Amino acid sequence: MRFKPQYLVVGAFVVLVFAYLLLRPLMGAEKKAHAATAKPAGASAPPLVQVSLAPEMQHPWAVTFRGRTQAFRTVVVRSETAGPVAATPVLQGTVVRAGTVLCRLAVDARQAMLDEMRANMRAKSLQMQASANLAAKGYRSRTQVLSAQADLDSASAAVRQAEVALRQVDIRAPFAGVFDHRDAEVGTYLAPGQPCGTMIQLDPLLIVGDVPETDVGKLRIGDTASAKLVSGATITGRVRFVASDADPTTRTYRVEVTSANPGGRTASGLSAELAVRAGIGAAHKVPVSALVLDAAGRQGVRYVAAGQTVAFAPVTVLEVDPDGVWVTGLNGDASVITVGQSYVSEGQRVRVAAR
């Protein structure tokens, strides 16, 4: 009996399927056994890390906070008398000396009034001399002499008043600084108390900022401070004021630092990063790359503790140097993990690579 070729092909396929199903469990067991025998002997060894010894050292502590530069003094210069502006001899933005005329009002009749008062004073002076001469000869009583003297004193006072009124037409800078803004132009009528412009004093310069309540107790009047400006320049100064009452909204304390600023080269209103030296204490210098975050989001470092186990210490950055950062939060000398710190966890045993 002969079978058709297509039946032979189907039968061979069926046999192969059954053979595969029967041999598959045996093949899986063989692979598992081979994997078990091929497993490297060191796979269960603790992970390898590199560490750097960070000794505990004494380092100046600094309180850092954001701030801004500010003029030492800002004054709106106002008119003391009334009149139209006749001249504005100083451009705004100009550095001026104390006493420089910023705005000049029209003199009007003030000079004529002064001349009249002086003439009246000369007349009263002559009358006083005549009364004194007559009194010496017995032709005037002492009361008449005193009355003439009173008239002379009144005329002298009127002269001084007219002189002051004339001087008031010149609105002058009250101190050396920058005429930052002019409010009055030629022809503007100024009443008493209306502004001519604004003067600011930039030397010395103030750097002001707000310190959180956790750090304000570390600051003292006279502490050395440095400020890194947004331009990249660094200026130094000393603390002149620390507020004793917190801002009710932010719960922060205002701090003012004074710094020399010859020529007013540093402008007011620049952002600054302030660092105030607040004593000396224990600190550690670690590489920047050693800083990590734990599961709670705290910044710190992982180090190798006793028993070759990993531990985590939250730290506070005090200062950043080109070759590392100064931190507090570690106790004693510490073996800080510098390679592998992101792949190990607290309590895990590790191997320390030979240096």
Ramachandran class of 204: left when φ > 0, alpha when ψ lies in -120 to 50, beta otherwise: beta
Give kind and range of the element (H or E) at residue 226.
strand 224-229
pLDDT score at 5: 61
pLDDT score at 91: 94
- For the whole model, what pTM was predicted? 0.63
List CB contacts of 158: < 8 A, sequence separation 6 or more.
117, 120, 121
Give exposure, 283-307, as e/b (b: 16+ Cβ within 10 Å): bbbbeeebbeeeeeeeebbbbbeee
pLDDT score at 79: 96
Mean pLDDT by 10 residues, the chain (355 residues): 58 67 60 48 75 91 90 96 95 94 93 92 92 88 90 93 93 95 94 96 95 89 93 93 93 95 91 89 91 91 92 89 89 92 90 83
Asked if residue 335 lies in contact with residue 324, where contact means CB atoms within 8 angstroms, the answer is no
What is d(CA 7, CA 249) in angstroms, rounded to the nearest whole number?
92
pLDDT score at 6: 61
| Domains parsed from the chain with CATH numbers | 48-60+282-352 (2.40.420.20), 64-71+201-278 (2.40.30.170), 75-196 (2.40.50.100)
What is d(CA 318, CA 247) in angstroms, rounded to the nearest whole number?
25
What is d(CA 197, CA 291) in angstroms, rounded to the nearest whole number?
53
pLDDT score at 23: 67
Full DSSP string of 125-188: HHHHHHHHHHHHHTSS-HHHHHHHHHHHHHHHHHHHHHHHHHHTTEEE-SSSEEEEEE---TT-
- In eight-state DSSP terms, residue 3 is P
What is d(CA 150, CA 94) in angstroms, rounded to the nearest whole number?
48
What is d(CA 27, CA 18) in angstroms, rounded to the nearest whole number?
14
pLDDT score at 11: 67
Token pair listed for 278: 């607040």
CA dihedral of residues 255, 260, 266, 271 (deg, nearest 10): -20
Handedness of CA 338, 342, 345, 350 (dihedral sign): negative
Residue of 277, 343, 287, 275 whose CA lies nearest to 54: 287
pLDDT score at 244: 94
